[in-house]
Amino acid sequence: MTPYTFDQKTSEFLSWFRAQPGTTFHHDIEVRDLRDRGAGRGIVAKADISPDTVLFTIPRQSIICTSTSSLAAKIPGLFGGAEEQDDGVDNHMNSEGGEAEDEDGDDDKSQDSWTSLILVLIYEYLQGANSSWKPYLDVLPTIDDFSTPMFWAADELAELQASPVADKVGRDEADKMVRTKILPVVRAHPAVFFPEGTAQLGDDELVQLAFRMGSVIMAYAFDLEKEDDEDKKSQESHAEEVEEDEWVEDREGKTMLGMVPMADILNADATFNAHIEHGEHALTATSLRPIAAGEEIFNYYGPLSNGELLRRYGYTTHAHRRWNLVDLEWGPVLAALRAEVPLPAKQWDEIVGGLDEDELEEAFVIERGAEDPDSEGRVAEVEKAAGAPEELVEQLKAVMKAVKKVRPDALPDKVARDKIIYSAISRALDERTRQYGTTLEQDLKRYEESSDGADQKVRRQRMALDVRIGEKVLLRQATDTVRAKLAELTKAESDGEKPSAKRRRV
């Protein structure tokens, strides 16, 4: 049998979607092939669309989740915990993180909402034509379609250089989770997962399938609010609250997750023109503002940096650069401070040992503080440059207060104190910048000389460049801001002046 083409799969999916009881699909929109711009499928307006227009509707019974799949009935008790722990959140699924609870548990009841949906998707996929969602499953990305760092080769990951994204891939953790929580369930119930007459997949094949489904969930799943929940939360995701590794579920299994046909066909960007509303019986996509004919319809994933966008979804955009960020760890800053205040090592150890470790931040975020989009999905230009994180300055002041108790002569006044603080930050920023291996100028030149194309490796290199350029821009801005502050303090010191109370407040 000849495999379906991309367009044939789209056509089959649309026919299936329209046939589902309760679905709607506006006559002025269409699903279009956007692979030429690296976007897979997308939804585009065929005619001008007014604000508050219902674009499409998905009844809850058409969503793939633990309460709609027949897997729950075939393995009683498998999803008891996950189903009972629905916390009513309705935001788009962008969470991943630390290892799941009961990670080493291998019994059926150890599943959380994340692994539960992975099992459901594996089950429905293995049913083939017998699955009610087969036309929908056929348009979901395959392993080869994903460009998240989870699937990058070592040389491709190296292009991220010192970006924190490189340390958050978490493939080993994901592999362990799959082998301890997914494979045992499938192996314990082969007659359920593998239809009669079909060959069973080997462990490595199942792991790859679980990786695919886990990545699908991270990119496309929604948190499903309770049907009787009157507290309608916004579409903005919890992405900014989650900082752990890859796609291992970190929400204590409290949220019911589901795959929402058609909603995940929408691509997303920082500027968007539609959102998903969660009703009692259905989810509805609605336009936020006028959409011109030929314009793509975009959803919103949240105020994500390009690094987070790449890590979760496998792409970067110009508009998301506004939320770029880079980390600065406390260890190098403290080392720089110790170099600025040459006390004996024993004294420094006493000072550091006397600090309350619970009160000390281990890392700080450098960003520009860009605002969120407005109610119509528009964003304003970011005028503010990055600087030293206020929390870092305050933490250094606390350390310097402890230093003054040991060596009062080391800090004759606040100007001297602030000079030491900003000199230490400047040193730490220089060291952080050197970790990348290439300069901002070298990266910009390479980016300008490269171009988006069909070659997957080239696209990944360009996205890695986009991420690390964004981080280096922030480090450059922060360095310039800190050095300007140092110049101001040096001038004040040479003039014998004390900065005003307002100017001292940094």
Each residue's pLDDT tens digit, 200-252: 999 999 999 999 999 999 999 998 864 434 333 333 333 333 344 444 444 44
Q: What is the pLDDT of residue 382?
A: 78
DSSP-based three-state secondary structure for 436 = coil
Strand-pairing partners, residue 284, are 57, 277
Q: What is the pLDDT of residue 499?
A: 53
How far apart CA 128 and CA 1 sit, in angstroms, is: 14
Q: What is the pLDDT of residue 37?
A: 81
> What confidence tens digit (pLDDT) does each residue in 100-140 have?
334 444 444 478 888 999 999 999 999 999 999 999 999 99
Q: What is the pLDDT of residue 413?
A: 87
**Which pairs from 177-181 meet CB under 8 Å and 24+ separation?**
177/99, 177/100, 177/103, 177/115, 177/248, 178/118, 178/206, 178/207, 178/210, 178/211, 178/214, 179/203, 179/207, 180/103, 180/104, 180/105, 180/106, 181/100, 181/103, 181/105, 181/106, 181/110, 181/111, 181/115
Q: What is the pLDDT of residue 373?
A: 94
Question: What CATH superfamily is the domain 6-320?
Answer: set domain protein methyltransferase, domain 1 (3.90.1410.10)
Q: What is the pLDDT of residue 236?
A: 39
Q: Which tokens belong to 488? A: 């101001």
Q: What is the pLDDT of residue 102?
A: 40
Q: What is the pLDDT of residue 254?
A: 60
Using an 8 Å Cβ cutoff, are 309 and 317 in contact? yes
Q: Which residue stretches of the chain have pLDDT < 50?
A: 1, 82-109, 226-253, 501-506
CATH 3.90.1420.10: does it fit domain 324-504? yes
Q: What is the pLDDT of residue 95?
A: 38
Span(s) in the chain for CATH 3.90.1420.10: 324-504
Strand residue runs (E) in 295-398:
298-299, 325-329, 363-367
How far apart CA 194 and CA 201 sit, in angstroms, is: 9
Q: What is the pLDDT of residue 91?
A: 36
How far apart CA 190 and CA 499 sit, in angstroms, is: 74
Span(s) in the chain for CATH 3.90.1410.10: 6-320
Residue 144 neighbours by CB under 8 Å, 6+ apart: none
> What confidence tens digit (pLDDT) does each residue in 373-390 have?
999 999 988 778 999 999
